[in-house]
Chain A
Amino acid sequence: MEILPVLNYLAFFMVFAGIFAVMALGLNLQWGFTGLFNVGVAGFVAVGAYASAILTGPPEPERFGGFGLPILVGWLGAMLLSGVAAFVVAVAALRLREDYLAITTFGIAVVIQLVATNAQGLTGGPFGIQSIPRPFVEALGTGFVWNLAYLGLVALVLGLAWWALERLVASPWGRVLRAIREDELAAASLGKRAAAFRLQSFVIGCMLMGLAGALYAHFVGYIAPEDFLPILTFQIWAMLIVGGSGNNAGAVLGAFLVWAIWSVSGNLIREVLPAAEQARGAALQVVLIGVMIAAILVLRPRGILGERATVSRHAGKD
C-alpha cells in the first residue's frame, strides 16, 4: 500500500473534522453554556456557505453574485450574514421555552434549505454553485500539498475560534450565560438582562457555524442544497453530546471522534455490502450514531469530557 494516498485521505479527514469542530464549538456556546436548544445548525452553515460562495465566485449570467472578492472577504461575509440571520431568528424566537425553540430553529433550517433548492437566481437551485475558488490553488495545485495547506488554514481558524471562545466562557460574560442556563429567573433577579445575553450567545454561535460553512464550501469547491440537510444538524449534536457539552475540548474531541466513526462505518459499508444494498446500508451509519448517543447518555451522561467545575478564569486563583 502506498503511503501518499493514505496521508492524503488523512488530511482530507482532518479538514472535515476541523470544520465540524468549528460548528460544534458554536453549538457548544449555545447549548453547552447557555442552554439554547438550536436544532437548526445546518441552516446557519448553509447561509455561511452560500454567502461566501456568492461573494467570491466568478460571475455567472444566470445567477446573482459572483463578485469575485477575495476569499477572506467571503469568510467574513459568511460570518456577518449568518450572524444577521441568527439575529433575526433570535429576535423572533429566542423568548420561547427550549423545546419550542428547538422546533422553531428546526423549521427555519428546513426553510433555508428549501430556499436554497428553489431560489435559482441566487443559489443555483438544486445543482448549487460550482467553481467556488479554492485558496492558493494556483500555487499549490489540487493534490496532497493543497490538502495539507487547507488543513493548516482550518487548524488556524479552529485555533482562533478556540481562543476566542475560551476567553469568553471563562469570563464574567460566560458566568452570566451559565447562570441563565441554570436558572434564568434567579439570574434576572440578580440584575442580569437574560434576553440580551441569550441573543449574544446565539448570534456568536451561529456566526461560527456560518464560518464553518464557508470553510466547507471553499474546500470542496461546490455546494448544493443536499449538503445542508437536517442530518448535518444531527451529526453536530452527536459530536457535542459524545464529546461533552459545556466543555470546548469536549466539543472538538467529539467532532473528531464522531467524524471518525462516521467515515470508517461509511467505508466499511461500501466495502462489505453489495452495490444494490448500499443505499439502505448507509442508513446504518445513522443508526450507529444514534446507538452511540444512547450509550453515552447511559454510561457517561455528561459526555467523554464533562463540564469543568470552575470556569471563571479569575475565580479559582489566589
Chain B
Amino acid sequence: MLVAQGLTKAFGGPPVVDGVSFTLARGTITGLIGPNGAGKTTLFNLIAASLAPDSGTLTLAGDRIEGLRPDQVFARGLARTFQIPRPFPAMTVLENVMLAPTGQRGERFWTNWLSPGAVAAEERRNRERAMHWLDFVGLSKLAAQPASVLSGGQRKLLELARVLVAEPRLILLDEPGAGVSPPLLEIIMGKIAELNARGITFLIIEHNMDLVMTLCRPVMVLAQGRLLLEGSPEEVKNDPRVVEAYLG
C-alpha cells in the first residue's frame, strides 16, 4: 500500500526523521510507537504532505507521492487525523463531514449559479453519506450542533467520520486513544477494527499499550528519528532496545 524509502527531514538542526524506510502492507493496522520527540508526528506530516521531506521517496499504491500537495495526497486516498483534533468549530458537525468528499461539483463557484439543481442533488447524496458515517461513529444526534460543543473524545470521532466520508484507502491516526475515556476508547478501537475488516489500511501513532497490543500487527518503534525495529507487539514489548529507548 505505502512504501517509504529513506525519508529524512531536518529543521535546521540534526534530522528529526532520519532515513526512515518501511512498507505498509495492504489491509494491516500498523502501530507506530516511540518516546516523545522521536519524530512520529513529523513522520506523519511527511507522509500526508503537510511537510516536504528533505530526501527520500514515498510510493502509494505504485504512485510516487512525495512532493505533492496535501490536497493531492488526500485525493489519492490517503487521509490523516490530528493528535489534537482540529474540527471547524463554527460549522455544524454535519457540515464538518460534508466538507470532506473530494471533487464536489459545488466547490467550483460558477456551478452554484449555472446549475444549482445539480449541486442540490449532489448535496443531498453528500448529506446522506455524511449522516451514514456520523451514525457509524455515533454522532448523528449532534449533526446540527456546531462542532465547538463536542468533547475531546467526540472531536476524535468527528475527525474519523470526516475522513471516512471521503472513502480513503489508508488512514493515519495520530493518537486516537489519547485523552479519551475508557468506554469511548473501547468504541474507537471497535470502529478501527471494523473499518480494517472492510479493507482500510491504518497507520496509528499511539501511546496506549492496550490499543497497540489489541489492534496493531506489526508495530514499528521510532527513536531519535530512526526506525529501531519492527515486529509483533510481543516481540516489541520484550525487546531490550525498546525499553532502553523509552527510559533513555
Contact = CB atoms under 8 A, between A and B. Distances in A.
A188 B127 CA distance: 21
B144 A168 contact: no
B98 A312 contact: yes
Interface of A: 164, 167-168, 171-173, 175-176, 178-179, 182-183, 185-193, 200, 204, 307, 309-316
Interface string B74-101: 1100011010001111111011001110
Nearest to B76: A191
Q: Which 10 A-B pairs have the closest CB atoms?
A: A172-B106, A314-B123, A191-B74, A186-B86, A182-B88, A171-B112, A188-B70, A191-B102, A173-B109, A193-B71
B64 interface: no
A142 B80 CA distance: 64
Given A309-B146, A316-B144, A189 B116 contact: no
Contacts of A307: 90
B119 interface: yes
Contacts of A173: 106-109, 112
B90 A191 contact: no
B236 interface: no
Contact of B91 (A167, A168, A175): A175
B127 to A, nearest CB: 6
16 contacts: A171-B119, A172-B123, A173-B106, A173-B108, A175-B98, A178-B90, A188-B71, A189-B79, A189-B86, A190-B79, A190-B99, A313-B120, A314-B126, A315-B92, A316-B92, A316-B144
B162 interface: yes
Nearest to B172: A189
A195 to B, nearest CB: 9
B113 A191 contact: no
The bracket for how many chain B residues form the interface is 35 or more
B41 interface: no
A193 B92 contact: no
B60 interface: no
Nearest to B81: A189
B123 A315 contact: yes
A276 B95 CA distance: 59
Contacts of A311: 95
B237 interface: no
B72 to A, nearest CB: 8
B82 A186 contact: yes
B166 interface: yes
Contacts of B144: 310, 316
Contacts of A191: 70-71, 74-75, 100, 102, 166
Contacts of B241: none
Nearest to A204: B109
Nearest to A310: B92
Contacts of B109: 168, 171, 173, 200, 204
Interface string B100-141: 101011111100110010011011101100000000000000
Given A173-B106, A182-B90, 9 more contacts: A171-B112, A172-B122, A173-B107, A173-B109, A176-B107, A187-B88, A189-B50, A191-B70, A200-B109
Given A188-B70, A193-B71, A310-B92, A172 B119 contact: yes
A214 B174 CA distance: 52
A176 B162 CA distance: 14
B71 to A, nearest CB: 5
B89 A182 contact: yes
Nearest to A196: B71
A189 B80 CA distance: 7
A187 B88 CA distance: 9
Contacts of B88: 178-179, 182-183, 186-187
A155 to B, nearest CB: 20
A178 to B, nearest CB: 6
A187 B86 CA distance: 9
A121 B137 CA distance: 66
B71 A175 contact: no
B92 A172 contact: no
A25 B58 CA distance: 45
A312 to B, nearest CB: 5
B215 interface: no
A192 B92 CA distance: 18
B219 interface: no
Contacts of A179: 88, 91, 99
A273 to B, nearest CB: 45
Contact of A185 (B50, B92, B100, B163): B50
Contacts of B70: 188-189, 191
A188 to B, nearest CB: 4
B48 interface: yes
A167 B113 contact: yes
A314 B124 contact: yes
Interface in B4-45: none
B108 A314 contact: no
